[in-house]
Amino acid sequence: KNEVEQSPQNLTAQEGEFITINCSYSVGISALHWLQQHPGGGIVSLFMLSSGKKKHGRLIATINIQEKHSSLHITASHPRDSAVYICAVKWGRGSQGNLIFGKGTKLSVKP
């Protein structure tokens, strides 16, 4: 069974700070997703990674397959980044099933 652990569970930052959220998993995977859930409940897919690094605006996601670890970084954080960030891993063969989710990291960015 694949366990997905996120840290920290809660994070409070001041506007402008550099933020890192971590995700570790226990079994080899084929892909890792980072999702953002807004305070209103809507979910947005931010990244999907199977190796290396991806960047979109102020967001950067990295994955280390050997260490079974991924990080989501937010540069120059802003109050609108306040949300729950969820890591999900896909493992096993086949198409997009077998997604296992972390419990999420709740981020609050203060002005």
Give contact residues for another protein (rule: CB under 8 A).
Answer: 30-31, 33, 35, 41-45, 48, 50, 86, 88, 90, 94-99, 101-104
CB nearer another protein, residue 59 or residue 88 = 88
- Smallest separation (angstroms) from another protein to the CB of 16: 29
CB nearer another protein, residue 19 or residue 35 = 35
- Smallest separation (angstroms) from another protein to the CB of 96: 6
Long-range contacts of 4-9 (CB under 8 A, 24+ apart): 4/87, 4/88, 4/89, 4/100, 4/101, 4/102, 5/102, 6/85, 6/86, 6/87, 6/102, 6/103, 6/104, 6/105, 7/105, 8/105, 9/103, 9/104, 9/105, 9/106
